[in-house]
A and B are shown apart, each in its own frame.
Chain A
Amino acid sequence: MSIDTTQQPATEGDPAEQPAAAPATKRLNTAKAMVEAIAREMERDEDVFVLGEDVGAYGGIFSSTTGLLDRFGPERVMDTPISETGFIGAAIGAATEGMRPIVELMFVDFFGVCMDQIYNHMAKIHFESGGNVKVPMVLMTAVGGGYSDGAQHSQCLWGTFAHLPGMKVVVPSNPADAAGLMTAAIRDDNPVVFMFHKGIQGLPWMAKNKRSIGPVPTGDHVVEIGKAATARPGSDVTVVTLSLSVHHALDVAEELAADGTADVEVIDLRSIVPLDTEAIIESVTRTGHLVIVDEDYQSFGLSGEIAARIAEHDPTILKAPISRVAVPDVPIPYARPLEYTALPTPARIKEAIIGQVAPA
């Protein structure tokens, strides 16, 4: 959807915010941070190229490729037909020949038409070849709901990808991590699925999360895949989450800190394959209370996996049963009152945290 970027600048000069010793940063929205990271790698490495639907003149439906066509031309920024099996498969073939394609699946919900190339080929070739064939590529895709786009355009589905061995899965929540994880993903010799939430791109045509613009290092910036971040330290309850839900959790944590209800620690997973089990266990060992917030479907997914890893490690670190705030195993409904009942809203997160610290 274009793209009247005049409504909100993608960049803001804000040198005053930077402490003298910190690395130089500039303020970018998440979309722009992704684009800058891609552009930097395209400049560094001739083998990096971008392909997908509407990634050229349009600049990506969610602004993930804005301006790249002008900078790098149609040979390296390729609009494709609506043929996901064909062009994702083509990216795989180019990767096995040593190139480093970044291929966009416009909405993750469309994986259904091309999943064979993704999970039977992209994810398995390295294994099947006994490690002799590498597939260094990035599959970037938009996820998430909250704007009434219905059951086929609002899902997260990261648990589905993470379930299938052979692909790394990264899910940034902010501009700096989007840039750093994109750089890491492009340089990685494995296929990396890069899942960005529409609600934190900083799009001018969608309600914006206030943290969708933030400081991004201007120099070489890599966020290691597989390392969670402590988005907010706290001592009473651990909230483990990712993507847009990090911001909801932070908002709730601030509110509960202000009124003295609880000191909440928020862990931003950033990657789910590999999953930073150590960071989760370290935090829960301190707090004894765990709330998992996941915008994906509840059953058979990320929240269950985290619970299992704690149970495998030592269930006695928990002082209370865990709480899950996830989509209750229904497709994402269209009507707003239903959608906002299904999604992990701040209200649901707050209720779960309060349930941990003050059991009824």
Chain B
Amino acid sequence: MSSRIDAAVQRDLYDQMVLIRTYEEAILREYHADKKPAFDIGAGLIPGEMHLAAGQEPVAAGVCAHLSRGDAVTATHRPHHFAIAHGVDLNRMTAEIFGRVDGLGRGRGGHMHLFDPDAHFSCSGIIAEGYPPAAGQALAFKKRGTDRVAVAVTGEGAANQGAFHETLNLAALWKLPVIFVVEDNDWGISVPRSASTSVANNAERAAAYGIPGVRVEDNAVEAVHEAAREAVERARNGGGPTLIEVHTLRLWGHFEGDAQGYRADLEGVPGKDPIPTYEAALREAGILDDAAVAITRRAASDTVESAIAFAKASPEPDPSTVRDYVFA
């Protein structure tokens, strides 16, 4: 473990990861609560596809630790961890996931379409399509003479999409303040990286666009933090984009309801959970003890449960408003 990082930061990274996990576990519980005994994707208080990010907390926590509210994040179909780490309003995000009027999108968007203009956060359900808008946000930040940066997130599967490559070239050419983050969780739904990608890792692809590429192994939050620190600094100082790929972990299915029959690595998955590993390391270093862990978990649980209560108390949208918001 790097000793360059100070204990307060380590505590923050841990707290952030626990908050994210607590959130994903609560959504998991609420999502399945009323889809029993037979799973029906369209039923219940939270219907539709649900892509949870358990196991991928180190990426969001490590990257977003360097961002402030003026910085932008474009996330994917699996957006909750980055939304939380970037400070998206948890109550309104949760209300959106429940399809309520107090949601970020007044119930129009849903879990793959979270837009929080205050946090400059957005996401898309179309693979790799968050990359181009991030370049555009960075372009706006640069044109206006600010030192703000944009972070674009995709999975490793998305790195084979045209939009990914077009945006890398564009951002490199225009020296835009963007940090390209690739979450390599080994899988694009049922397709393993080995069956989708011609190179061993996506950091190598940065060379094709003349930008730095970094690969972080082992889902290590502090290594992510360090790589992101350099990349954000470079971007803020006019040094242009960086590509960071993190080898992370899809702890659960691609989406809820995915029995993962195709997944050969399933048995080893629980043992790779990054949160117990990090917690053990911080205990070892004397940064965490039982009391500190209890405080973190309690605080996370209070925050999350009150967001869920907020969502459930918010009314459903009035059907007579169905035509609203198509145009400004």
Contacts and interface: CB of A to CB of B under 8 A. Distances in A.
A220 B82 CA distance: 52
B100 A335 contact: yes
Interface string B93-125: 000100110000101111111000000000011
A110 B110 contact: no
A79 B108 contact: no
Contact of B99 (A61, A206, A335): A335
B110 A58 contact: no
B66 to A, nearest CB: 28
Of A110, A205, A338, the most chain B CB neighbours within 10 A belong to A338
B189 A152 contact: no
A150 B161 contact: no
Interface residues of A, number: 48
Contacts of A152: 112-113, 124-126
Interface string A60-98: 010000000000000000011111111000000000000
Given A205-B41, A328-B322, A82 B261 contact: no
A147 interface: yes
A83 B161 contact: yes
B276 interface: no
A148 B99 contact: yes
B277 interface: no
A257 interface: no
A22 interface: no
Q: How large is the interface on B (under 10, 10 to 19, 20 to 34, 35 or more residues)?
A: 35 or more
A328 B107 CA distance: 18
Contacts of A56: 190-191
Nearest to B106: A335
Given A150-B110, A205-B257, A334-B99, A83 B125 contact: no
Contacts of A82: 127-128, 157-158, 160-161, 188, 196
Nearest to B125: A152
B162 interface: yes
B99 A207 contact: no
A57 B190 CA distance: 7
A79 B42 contact: no
B42 A146 contact: yes
Interface stretch (B142-150, B175-183, B289-297, B313-321): B313-321
B316 A337 contact: yes
The secondary-structure label for the interface of chain A is: loop
A149 B46 CA distance: 11
Nearest to B98: A335
Contact of B107 (A4, A57, A338): A338
Contacts of B40: 205-207
A37 B294 CA distance: 58
Interface string B9-44: 000000000000000000000000000001111110
Contacts of B127: 82, 110, 113
Nearest to A198: B41
A299 to B, nearest CB: 12
B287 interface: no
A58 B322 contact: no
Contacts of B70: none
Contacts of A2: 257-262
A112 interface: yes
A112 B126 contact: yes
B323 interface: yes
Contacts of A112: 126
Contacts of A331: 108, 326
Nearest to A57: B262
Contact of B41 (A1, A328, A336): A1
Given A4-B259, A53-B189, A207-B42, A334 B107 contact: yes
Given A151-B113, A152-B112, A336-B99, A79 B323 contact: no
B251 interface: no
A333 interface: yes
Interface in A137-154: 146-153
Contacts of A330: 322-323, 326
Interface string B162-194: 110000000000000000000000001111000
Nearest to B260: A2
A149 B323 contact: no
B99 A58 contact: no
Given A54-B189, A82-B127, A152-B126, A206 B108 contact: no
A329 interface: yes
B197 interface: yes
Interface string B196-212: 11000000000000000
A334 B115 CA distance: 14
B40 to A, nearest CB: 5
Given A1-B258, A110-B126, A152-B113, A334 B48 contact: yes
Interface in A221-236: none
B328 interface: no
Contacts of A7: 38
B8 interface: no
A206 B195 CA distance: 29
B46 to A, nearest CB: 8
B160 A83 contact: yes
B49 interface: yes
Contacts of B57: none
Contacts of B255: 1
B190 A58 contact: yes
B261 A113 contact: no
A342 interface: yes
Contacts of A54: 189-191
A283 B34 CA distance: 45
Contact of A148 (B110, B321, B323): B110
23 contacts: A1-B41, A1-B258, A53-B188, A53-B189, A54-B189, A54-B191, A79-B191, A81-B160, A81-B197, A82-B128, A110-B127, A146-B42, A147-B42, A147-B47, A149-B49, A152-B124, A153-B48, A153-B112, A207-B40, A333-B108, A333-B317, A335-B108, A336-B47
Give the 5 A-B residue pairs with the shortest CB-CB distance, closest first.
A147-B42, A334-B110, A335-B99, A335-B107, A148-B47
